[in-house]
Chains A and B, each alone.
Chain A
Amino acid sequence: MSELSPYLADLPRLAPELLLTALALIVLVWDLVLRGRDSRKLGYLTLFGLVGTGWLLVQQWHAPTSTAFGMVVIDRFGTFFKLFTVGALAVVTLFVLSDRREKKHGVGEYFFLLIGAAIGIFFMVSTNNLVLLMLGLELLSLASYALAGFHKGSKRSAEAALKYIVFGGLSAGVMLYGISLLYGLTGTIDLAAMGRNAADGSSISLAAQFTASPVPVAIAVVLVLAGFAYKISVVPFHFWTPDVYEGAPTPVTTFLAVASKAAGFAALLRFIGALFMAEGVEVAVSAYAQRIGLLLALLAAITMTLGNLSALRQTNLKRLLAYSSIAHAGYALMGVAVMTSAGFSASIFYLAAYYLMNLGAFGFLLFFEGVTGSEDVDSLKGLGWRYPLVSCAMVVMLVSLTGLPPTVGFYGKYLLFYESVDAGYAWLAVVAALNSVVSLFYYFRVAKALFLTTVEDKPRVLQPVLTGIIAVLAVFTIVTGLFNRPLQEWANAGPASLHIPAAQK
């Protein structure tokens, strides 16, 4: 007991995680008690629990950085992403509840799996320990596989899930092998310990290995990065994305595209930050980081170009948004590639923008699936005049996704461009700018279908909850675009809490 007590004393600091776990279990048991009837009640309970978790997280935002169990770092970086995850999950829960094509009964597991995935995200965004990182990632993945195949009666859903798990298994295998090499090279599974040199000069750090054996280090790091690349769907690990996003139920797609992808980014930022950029890493490591940065910059350029060019010829809105999300992964990766604390802030800011605008865009998709039962861009024709509020909100999202003022997407992109040029990646900024122009074409096509065609008269389908969410998100998109100061400060807190020193200029 005495050995346990220091660990038990850390429990209160894991309050948000514990609350979510309790919520998941209550949902599961209540579903059993209800015998699958009236699953909507579970949805409301989930929302209630998420609000509580959010409140706990806000408390943690103001608490000083601390470590629980020696492996969960409670800092502003993690809390930032946890808060956005909770927000995104709440929106996704509302999506599930207002999905007209979803059953009202027997879908209690939906909520359990969503909460389970969120717990996985919580662990993976806040740990320096590779065991916990791996388990968090896998918890997220395994819950996502089941969610993607939730409509198993539909071939598309089942196939999407199968594709997801097969490629997910590959990436897990590759990543774990990379981690095993990292462990072999350094003798530790703690990222912070890997990054810095031990005081007594023992060769625990990766830095010592860079000079001794650069090739295995490179292979190990690239293999681990490949695992992250899968989660954030960066080329060449993107090809599952369109199929899975299209085949999965739309609320699940939203979760995968927004929460899961941003969580992958958060874990990637923490990984790179701890290994290459934290205070106290050696000069050899920083030099190495530049090379990794170049690799990431190349991947970012390829990813955004491929995503945008493929999106151009899509007629299915869901698939279009899937390719667009690949392109946005490319943009967000720009900030990682520059390998500076300012670049990281820009990336974090862009991810926050990404949450807002993609939640809105997928909400719109769900809305119109409810109206037309179709995902084709063509079927949107003229709907803009019949559903003006939602459609205007969608136009705001599209403007933001393209990266035009006055939206948050514009400011996020501006930061990314500025930081890339500043770090000497001017070519990357040019590629990204060209890409934004390309993306204008397909985003505009959606707006055109909505508004620039004639009206047919059909009875209106009212979906007040969805309309409300989309409108609120649109307002947020504009407001945070105009008054971006607070959001930027929150984003800046991230690299600071990762102990990444600001660049000297």
Chain B
Amino acid sequence: MNVPTDHVLALAAVLFALGVLGFLVRKNVIIVLASIELMLNAANLSFLAASRHWSQDALAATHQPSAGPIFAIFVILVAAAEAAVGLALVIALYRLKQTVALDGVAELKG
């Protein structure tokens, strides 16, 4: 596939922007967590695109092309861990308040 690296990076950037947007505008905790997953995936995509770029024969020796996929694996791991803790808290809070809205979570005020 001969797609230029910056096209892949642009795709990652737009995905990231959508994730941030979702985080900012939605109130439902589940959707907010989904938006975070979207952001982490954007990071992964850009890791892999960069890794492909640095794998070029002329560059591979002086750079670390293999760091990209390795980082991506750890990002997936972190994403899974964050989702697990986040959803556990959603369950814990739902038991107390019967809501998953971030606004309803206003026992503590500013």
Contact = CB atoms under 8 A, between A and B. Distances in A.
**A, B assembled together:** yes
B85 A131 contact: no
Contact of A166 (B29, B68, B74, B75): B29
A439 B49 CA distance: 49
Contacts of B36: 166, 169-170, 172-173
A162 B29 contact: yes
A180 B46 contact: yes
Nearest to B49: A184
A159 interface: yes
A170 B50 CA distance: 22
A102 to B, nearest CB: 18
A198 interface: yes
A26 to B, nearest CB: 23
A165 B92 contact: no
B32 A180 contact: no
B93 A162 contact: yes
Contacts of A417: none
B11 interface: no
A77 interface: no
A187 B50 CA distance: 7
Interface string A148-173: 01001101101111110110111011
A196 to B, nearest CB: 13
A166 B81 contact: no
Contacts of A262: none
B84 to A, nearest CB: 9
A177 B39 contact: yes
Interface string B72-98: 001100100110011001101100110
B38 to A, nearest CB: 8
Contact of A173 (B19, B47, B67): B19
A242 interface: yes
A131 B39 contact: no
Interface in B9-56: 9, 12, 16, 19-20, 23, 29, 32-33, 36, 39-40, 42-44, 46-47, 49-51, 53-54
B89 A165 contact: yes
Nearest to B41: A173
Nearest to B40: A173
Interface string A122-163: 000000001100110010001001100100110110111111
A246 interface: yes
Secondary structure call for the A interface: helix
Contacts of B68: 183
A286 interface: no
Contacts of A187: 50, 53-54, 59, 62-65
A146 B85 contact: yes
Most buried by B among A155, A184, A198, A243: A184
A121 interface: no
A188 B63 contact: yes
Contact of A184 (B9, B19, B107): B9
Nearest to A245: B108
A376 to B, nearest CB: 15
Contacts of B75: 134, 176
A149 B89 CA distance: 8
B33 A169 contact: yes
A431 B36 CA distance: 36
Contacts of A184: 9, 46-47, 49-50, 53
A152 B33 CA distance: 20
B74 to A, nearest CB: 6
A162 B90 CA distance: 7
A149 B95 CA distance: 14
A179 B71 CA distance: 10
B78 A149 contact: no
Contact of B62 (A170, A189, A190, A202): A202
B67 A131 contact: yes
B82 A177 contact: no
B101 to A, nearest CB: 11
Contact of B43 (A162, A166, A173): A173
Contact of B16 (A138, A158, A177, A239): A177
Given A162-B105, A202-B62, A243-B108, A172 B40 contact: yes
B110 interface: yes
A259 to B, nearest CB: 20
Given A173-B36, A200-B62, A159 B50 contact: no
A204 B54 CA distance: 10
Contact of B107 (A155, A161, A173, A242): A155
A188 B16 contact: no
Contacts of A155: 93, 96-97, 107
A264 interface: no
Given A135-B78, A165-B89, A177-B43, 4 more contacts: A142-B81, A166-B86, A173-B39, A176-B78
Of all A-B residue pairs in the complex, the 10 with the closest CB atoms, nearest first, are A187-B63, A173-B39, A184-B50, A169-B36, A243-B108, A176-B43, A180-B46, A187-B54, A202-B62, A177-B43
26 contacts: A131-B70, A142-B81, A155-B93, A155-B96, A155-B97, A162-B102, A162-B105, A165-B82, A166-B33, A166-B86, A166-B102, A170-B23, A173-B16, A173-B40, A177-B43, A180-B12, A180-B43, A183-B51, A183-B68, A187-B63, A189-B64, A198-B62, A202-B59, A202-B63, A239-B110, A243-B110
